[in-house]
Amino acid sequence: MSEETMVLETVDTAPEEAAKEPSKGAPAPKNDIEKTSKKQKVVKVFVYIGLYTFLTLVAITVLFPFYWMLISSLKSLDEYNRTVPTLWPTQFVWSNYGAAFTGGLNLGRLFLNTVIVGVVSTLLSLVVTVLSAYAFARLEFRGKNLMFGAMLATMMIPGELFTISNYLTVSEFGWLNTFTALIVPFLVSVFYIYLLRQNFMQIPNELYLAAKVDGTSDLKYLWKVMIPLAAPTLISITILKMMGSWNSYIWPRLVANDDLHRLITVGLRDPSAFIYVDPATGMTTNLVNFPAQMAAVVLVTIPLLLVFMFFRKYIMRGVSRSGLKG
Amino acid sequence: MSDEKIVTEEAEALVASEQTEAPAADGGKKQKKPPLSKEEKKILWQARWSRWKAWVYLLPAIVILGIFTVWPIINTVRISFMGQWTTEGGSTWWEGYSYSAALNPNTHYVFGFNNFSSVVSDIDFVTCLTNTLLLTVITVPISTMLALLIAVALNSIKPLRKVFQTIFFLPYVTNSIAIGMVFAAMFQMVWPNPTGEPMSVGIINTIIEAFGGTRINWMNQGSSHFANMVVLVIYIVWNALPFKILVLLGGLQSVNKQYYDAAKVDGTSRFRTFWRITVPLLSPMIAYVVITGFIGGFKEYTSIVGIFGEKMGPVGNDWSLDTMVGYIYKSMGVSEGKAGAAALILFVIIFAVTMVNLYVSKKKVHY
């Protein structure tokens, strides 16, 4: 008891001196305190200057590639290839964007393919995810926990293991070079089911019982109550899935690498896509048309950044729980 | 939950009564069973439905997961042990399972470990494994430390925090191939004729020269493996920071402020506070980002395609930067069995590293 009061007393009286005078434990004379508090203030200012300088440097490093991408996409090839690079285009060459579309790459088609695959797979994936999450969160059936556990266990296995055999399956089904091959195999994400189930479980059961008493069907209840209440999670899932489709590379390159079904990321890395054609002679050169390439890169990046600006909260929430890119 | 139980019980009772009534009707005076009213029929139907509806809801997920997740696990293990001995011109060699060869009725596959031994003894595989290990072991500590510093710095400022936080998250919402191409453009020299002078040395070399350094051939023809790796490490760290900062900052913000107040009262130095309070309290989050970092590192592939192209190396030195995942996809062109064996080896490595990480963090993580 006496110890407690002691502690309380020290905490009550000592903190200010102690905080200002770390090296000496004992209380110091008044003017010394004033001196050190001034010193402390100076130190504090320096710490803040240091912090902001550090953060600004990191921010510049993070932003620099974006800046370089934008200005490079607007330079003429001559300016891009100058010995001393310019930090701002002397003349904005918007025709690079046209060149990106008309070059070796059918950029319009690639964007269309990517949007088709992204939208269809996201919609179907939402339906499957909602139904499964609802079954796991609200319905009672034999083997529920076993089934859920088995699904979660598949999350541990790296995707490469699936890809090889899925390639064989897709060939067997005759799905090579179709949108089906791009959409169906990755329709079900156990992680999304898990995420949504957790959200559904938070919705009080009383609502469900009340709906039952009123004679509302399950699907109507799901549509009218569960989905609106779980909207934030559904938005997170939608955005992450869309971004995943937009950025996917390995699987699309493997199963659908023909002109009609190629996706944007696969097309970008086509080695023949951005060879510079001399407009005067019409001959191909051994130069890469970097400005046109950067223009294509800008067109791929901007939609992602726009989505991020509008849905920052949802993306960050979804990501911090998943730890998976895309 | 209780509601579903009730419905199920109701259903069982109804179904049971149906069954017991039926023989009684037969043995009795052929008494006609009173027809179920509309309401009763509806309840009966609902009860039956409620037994099965969960499975109906789960059906699409189960079918797709069965075909594209469960079957591949079985099938990959199966084909990775399959192959045949081929004799031609006096020499005999092992040919791993391949889909196109399997369509030929003359192919008779046997089981064996030869796919695994041919992967492990492949010099190309050793290169890929070394590249992957190096990249992982270098990038994970660098990005974790840097992310920790940034998170702590962000946590100790108030104005502009949101702005910085948003900027630092940007690399996450990008396409790794697209931004890889931007990094390539920054490091690359425009050098159409390697015997002459380059037209442009690239912005990074320009900056280096502005500070009095000498330019480096980062990734053009004739560049060193070391320089290539430096470019990759920079890009991978740039790409890995956002997620780590997000998780660590989240952790920092949930730390009880009292610990810091206590440290202040005791006059603890900032450095000591960092190592003695921040790091231990954050240890679960640090363990999490390290483990996910290792898993991601072992699967490194698209960053390299983004910077160096599909041939995984600078011009004139194809495949010199190939990784484990790259090896798997490259092997698929030869034999899916061999690719399967490589994928299983990768899985075992990732699993083992994760287990070691979990074991270490169990000892070091403070709660």
Same domain, B141 and B41: no
pLDDT of residue B41: 84
Which of B31, B56, B80 terminates a domain? The answer is B80
CB contact under 8 A, A158 and B73: no
pLDDT > 70 fraction of chain B, expressed in percent and rounded: 90
CATH number, domain A95-322, options 2.60.120.10, 3.40.50.300, 3.30.930.10, 1.10.3720.10: 1.10.3720.10
ipTM, interface predicted TM-score of the complex? 0.83
> How many structural domains does chain B have?
3
Instruction: Give me the mean pLDDT over the A155-178 stretch.
Output: 89
Of the candidates B59, B350, B76, B65, the residue with the CA atom closest to the CA atom of residue A153: B65
Cβ atoms B244, B144 nearer than 8 A? yes
Same domain for B309 and B184: yes
Q: What is the mean pLDDT of residues A118-141?
A: 93
From B95, B112, B129, give the residue that closes a domain.
B112
Same domain, B37 and B158: no
Spell out the residues 6+ positions from residue B184 whose beta carbon is closer than 8 angstroms to its own. B219, B306, B307, B308
Please tell me which residue of chain B has the smallest CA distance to A208: B3
The per-residue pLDDT for B33 is 66
Q: What band does B12 get if pLDDT is binned at 50, 70 and 90?
A: low
Distance from CA of A248 to the nearest CA of B (A): 9
Q: Which residue of A has its CA nearest to B263?
A: A19
Does the pLDDT at position A179 exceed 80? yes
A106 versus B166: which is more confidently predicted?
B166
Closest chain A residue to the Cα of B288, Cα to Cα = A323
For residue B329, give both structure tokens: 């996809």
Token pair, residue A322, equals 């998943």
Host domain of residue B46:
2-80
User: Would you call B60 and A25 a contact, using CB atoms and an 8 Å cutoff?
Assistant: no
* B14 band by pLDDT with thresholds 50, 70 and 90: low
List the one residue out of B52, B43, B42 whose CA is nearest residue B13: B43
Task: Supply the pTM of this predicted model.
Answer: 0.85
**Average pLDDT score over residue span B161-170:** 93
Cβ pair B265:A19 closer than 8 A? yes
Element containing residue B195 per DSSP (H, E): none
Average pLDDT over residues A214-236: 87
Look at residue A35 in the predicted model and tell me its pLDDT: 66
Q: Are residues B90 and B129 in the same domain?
A: no
User: Using CA of residue B138, residue B144, residue B148, residue B151, what is the dihedral sign?
Assistant: positive
Here the CATH number for the domain that contains residue B187 is: 1.10.3720.10
Of the candidates A63, A250, A265, the beta carbon closest to that of B175 is on A265
- Residue B147's nearest CA partner among B262, B31, B251, B48 is B251
Q: Which residues of A touch B4 (CB under 8 A)?
A: 138-140
The per-residue pLDDT for A211 is: 83
Distance from CA of B134 to the nearest CA of A (A): 20
Interface size A-B, in CB pairs within 8 Å, comes to 281
Contact B157 A271 (CB under 8 A): no
Chain B residue closest to A20 (CA)?
A: B267
pLDDT digits (tens, 9 = 90+) for B100-116: 888 888 888 889 899 99
Contact indicator for B206, B198 with CB cutoff of 8 Å: no
Backbone angles phi, psi at A154, to 5 degrees: -70, -15
For tokens 């950029």, name the residue.
A107
Q: How far is CA B43 from CA A12, B47, B55, in A?
A: 71, 6, 20
Residue A100 has pLDDT above 50, yes or no: yes
One domain, residues B70 and B90: no
Q: Which residue of A has its CA nearest to B163?
A: A59
How does the average pLDDT of chain A come out, rounded? 83
Indicate yes or no: CB of A165 within 8 angstroms of CB of B154.
no
A91, pLDDT greater than 80: yes
* Confidence tier at B126 by pLDDT (50, 70, 90): very high
Per-residue pLDDT tens digits for B283-340: 888 998 999 899 999 999 999 999 999 899 998 889 999 999 999 999 998 899 999 9
What was the pLDDT predicted at A34? 62
Give the residue with greater pLDDT, A154 vs A166: A166
Lowest model confidence (mean pLDDT) among A8-12, A161-165, B127-131, B196-200: A8-12
Same domain, B343 and B237: yes
Q: Per-residue pLDDT for B367 more than 70?
A: no
Q: Are residues B255 and B288 in the same domain?
A: yes
Tell if the CB–CB gap between B336 and A167 is shorter than 8 Å: yes
Convert the pLDDT of each residue in B48-81 to its tens digit.
Answer: 777 788 899 999 999 999 999 999 999 999 999 9
Q: What is the 3-state secondary structure (H, E, C) of A195-224?
A: HHHHHHHCCCHHHHHHHHHCCCCHHHHHHH
Residue B87 has pLDDT above 90, yes or no: no
Answer whether residue B232 shows pLDDT above 70. yes
How far off is chain B from A273, nearest CA to CA, in Å? Answer: 12
Q: Is the dihedral of CA B110, B113, B117, B119 positive or negative?
A: positive
Would you say residue A31 has pLDDT above 80? no
Mark A239-276 as b/e (b = at least 16 C-beta within 10 Å): bbbbbbbbbbbbbbbbbbeeeebbbbbbbbbeeebbeb
Is the per-residue pLDDT at A317 higher than 80? no
* Contact between B168 and A58 using a beta-carbon 8 Å cutoff: yes
The shortest C-alpha distance from A270 to chain B (Å) reads: 8
Cβ within 8 Å, pair B269-A22: yes
Indicate if B126 and B241 belong to the same structural domain.
Answer: yes
Q: Quickly tell me which residue has 């508090």 as its tokens.
A: A37
Q: What is the per-residue pLDDT for A40?
A: 81
Q: Are residues B161 and B26 located together in one domain of the fold?
A: no
B277 shares a domain with B209: yes
Determine contact, residues A129/A196, Cβ cutoff 8 Å: yes
Band of pLDDT at residue A25, cut at 50, 70 and 90: very low
Residues B90 and B230 in one domain: no
Beta strands B110-111; B91-96: pairing state: unpaired
User: Phi, psi at residue A275, to the nearest 5°?
Assistant: -70, 135
Query: What are residue A186's phi and psi, to 5 degrees?
Result: -110, 30
Q: Name the residue among A322, A232, A255 with its Cα closest to residue A117.
A: A255
- Looking at the structure, do residues B151 and B297 belong to the same domain, yes or no? yes
**pLDDT of res. B271:** 82
